[in-house]
Structure 1
Amino acid sequence: MSQEISGNTYGNLNVRSSSNWGPGTSVEFSTLDYNKGNDTAGIASASWCARVNDTNQWVSLSALEPVEFVGVKTQGRGDNYDQWVTSYRIRYTLDGATWFDGPTFNGNTDKTTIVTNRFATPIVARTIAIHPLTWNTHISMRFDAIFKTIARVQVGTVTHSTPISSEVTYQIAFPQAYPVGVIPQIITQIQQVDTNNNHCLSVFVGSRNITNTGFSFVFQGNANSLINSITGTWTAVAGPTYF
């Protein structure tokens, strides 16, 4: 299973903003629990601060390829000013051109508490944006996104050890489920066959009922194929829609 990753805190995501109040208020200083003591130059305000207070302001976090965003964390300004975002809307995009509206959340009620809001359904996107809707005195925020990487390729093997007269099916669950809507291509092959009758060997492998969580692996043979055991391999490949 893919583990959840914090993006902004550990530099896994590229962070941008609509505007900054000044050099010391950029997203460079927006990581959770950031404070002036972390800034050797002494210019940081200990949060991102927007240039103006309106609902056109935003911060975004971008991955190099699509990931599953599962939630966001927010925190108020980390110095002497009582500034924080009290509510915000999520927006997201796969290609950087077409944006979709996500959920709206209540944010912070003070400047120190980290508030975590998790999405009811993970959002598959390259970029996620936080759009402040309401705020206390000024739009200022430390923030982070929580996400999981998406496995492009997954592989496995299936072994059957009794005679196959027609068809045998095994239900395969992917080690990591693909996001909802991502249906991978399945490639099946025969890896090894142990048989007592090479001249009458007629066995095939295939797949059906493919979903984002798994598929049916199918062995097909006939009564003349005296098989002691057969091993097949499968490879699941996520399509180009998301990569």
Structure 2
Amino acid sequence: MYYIVFVNFYSFSGLICHTCNTAATNDACNTGGNTVSCSNNQVCKNEIRDNNGNHQIMKSCKDSSTCFNEEARNADRCHPATSPSLCSYCCSTDLCNEPEIPSDGQSAGACIDPLGVEDGTIPSDQLTVSSVYNDHTWYGADRGRLNAEEENAGYGGWSAKANDSNPWIQADLGILNEVTGVITQGSNDWNEWVTSYEVHHSVDNTNFQPVTEGSGQTAVFTGNSDQNTAVTNMFHTGVFARYIRIHPTDWNEHISLRFEVLGCPDTEQPILTCPSDAILNTVMGAATVSTDYSSAVTASDNSAALPTISPDPASVFPVSLGIGAQDFTFTATDLSGNANTCTFTITVQDTEQPTMTCPSDVILNTDIGAATVSIDYSSTVTASDNSAALPTISPDPLSVFPVSLGIGAQPFTFTATDSSANTNTCTFTVTVQDTENPTLTCPFDTTVDITYICTDTALVDYSKSINASDNSGTVPNISPDPTTLFPAILEIGSNPFTFTVTDSSGNTNNCTFTIKVQDLKFRFRTMVHKHKSQSKNYVMIAKHHTHSVIQCGLHCLRDPLCVSVQFGNGICQLHGISEEEDESYIITNNNMVHYENTQ
């Protein structure tokens, strides 16, 4: 089998160099139906020619020292066309007699593998046609495989109905491939072939686009000129397609065609774009944040057909995320089954302080009779968090309360820490005040007799009978100070005393008592006889009613005669001046002395 190849360098990138190790002699070269022998030092070469706007590779005998602009599909690269003299070429008979399509299809960048029509890799149910001549399976789509020959299954070639106004034969490649050209033949049995055609391609078997020239116009390819010569036409630019249709536009006698599709599997991964890793804060008062990255996960492909992204971003987002790191992995798969994956992480952080609640500042009174008060606020010191997890309170209120507090102000500070280490603090002050009056004790009201007859006064001492105490435990101050007020000399009559006690908190209390000083219960009067035998002005009074005399004192017989009272040996001496000059009065047991109650 022999090929005439029409190309337009859609993926060729330079020239090739071949080095002759031995001279090629009588090289057989098929130039398109005729095999010629090259003369000595000439070789069969693929020469690029222009055939009415199409680049055509023709085999011809050329001098081995000449460099030609050849397609870059062999192992060695050539210098650019600006330096053709640097290249030389020699080939073997095999290279001349077989089409120079590398088995890997991609040497030096080429993509020209047969994609399975000829060898049956593409099954018969993936070959379809617009019509079949006489509706006979012998002319069906399966007979359109390149190099098919007449056999029990049918003729060698697909034939359309004569009245088919839009004839085509199609190959479903199964997956997306990069298609770079087609090879065609005419009928193996009849003098029928297609002389020109268009190629249309699709990724979904619904929307077809024509293969175009570089100008963007639909390419019309030159087809066959005989039944069996295979003609290869390369596209100006490779297309990515799963479905390839050949539309005959002109033919010889009848539309009959055998074909192969050239290209290579699309092994290029689609481009999948994920957003960068992100750190987001929870919504205020919540443990989550809502986010939508559905439009930020995108994919594209060299085939121009949008890959499938799994899972569908629109089914994943928007999403409400809790605190922590959440990975999102997406996979894009193109129509050729190539896949690409991207992952990004959204970290949701809680920067919100927990809520901390303390009771308000409070003022409490001491317990009655005590200097302290017992309190328990363990249930009123609370904390909560947007994360819904209870924060830790330090110190633990249960370890602080209940507590007995003394007089004064006591601050309490607590700190709440949530699971994200955010903290909050609250403080409250308990002020314990003493509003209880101190206790002040005064003696009862009392009556006392005079101590000094001549002055009508009494000597009293109550300094130890006036006492004070306080619930604070501190002895309060008494004003006036009893120790500075007593002992005291009091006159006959009522003598009130008032004392005030003040504790350390300024609480006060008062007490009052009265000391009544009275005259003797018994006074005496008598008829006093003059006794001029006394050389001194004094009178002697016998020890009558000793209790009254000694304990309570004597009262002068007549005021203001009495000057002083002396006590001695149980005898009270009353000194004074009589009404009469140089006269004294004496009262003895011999005198008539009468006592009477003066109260």
> What band does the TM-score fall into relative to the shorter chain?
0.5 to 0.7
Alignment map for 1:202-221 (pairs within 5 Å):
none
Q: What is the percentage of aligned positions where both structures have the same residue?
A: 31
8 Å contact kept, 1:184–1:239: no
* TM-score, normalising length: structure 1: 0.60
The equivalent of 2:184 in structure 1 is 74
The equivalent of 1:24 in structure 2 is 138
Alignment map for 1:1-243 (pairs within 5 Å):
3=106, 4-13=113-122, 14-21=126-133, 22-36=136-150, 39=151, 41=152, 44-79=154-189, 81-102=190-211, 103-151=219-267, 153=269, 184-185=271-272, 239-240=333-334
Larger relative contact order (CA 8 Å, sep ≥ 6): 1
Give CA-to-partner distance per residue, 1:181-217, whole Å, 9 cap, x none: xx52379xxxxxxxxxxxxxxxxxxxxxx996xxxxx
Q: SS state of the match for residue 28, structure 1?
A: helix
Which whole-Å CA distance do the structure 1 matches of 2:230 and 2:105 have between them? 24
| Structure 2 gaps, min length 5 | 1-103, 107-112, 212-218, 275-299, 303-330, 338-599
Q: SS state of the match for residue 138, structure 2?
A: helix
Alignment: residue pair count: 163
The equivalent of 1:177 in structure 2 is none
1:238 positional shift: 5.8
8 Å contact kept, 1:94–1:127: yes
8 Å contact kept, 2:265–2:336: no
Q: CA separation of 1:241/1:32 partners in 2, compared to 1, >3 Å: closer, same or farther?
A: closer
Q: CA separation of 1:142/1:70 partners in 2, compared to 1, >3 Å: closer, same or farther?
A: same
* TM-score, normalising length: structure 2: 0.25
Which whole-Å CA distance do the structure 1 matches of 2:197 and 2:229 have between them? 16
Which whole-Å CA distance do the structure 1 matches of 2:332 and 2:183 have between them? 29
Which whole-Å CA distance do the structure 2 matches of 1:61 and 1:211 have between them? 22
| Aligned residue type for 2:258 | R
Q: CA separation of 1:113/1:2 partners in 2, compared to 1, >3 Å: closer, same or farther?
A: closer
Give CA-to-partner distance per residue, 1:44-64, whole Å, 9 cap, x none: 221100012544000001122
Larger radius of gyration, structure 1 or 2?
A: 2
Q: CA separation of 1:6/1:66 partners in 2, compared to 1, >3 Å: closer, same or farther?
A: closer
Which whole-Å CA distance do the structure 1 matches of 2:129 and 2:244 have between them? 12
1:240 positional shift: 4.2
Q: CA separation of 1:30/1:240 partners in 2, compared to 1, >3 Å: closer, same or farther?
A: closer
| Aligned residue type for 1:17 | V
| Aligned residue type for 1:112 | N
Give CA-to-partner distance per residue, 1:70-127, whole Å, 9 cap, x none: 1101001101x21000000111111112111112201001111100001111110110
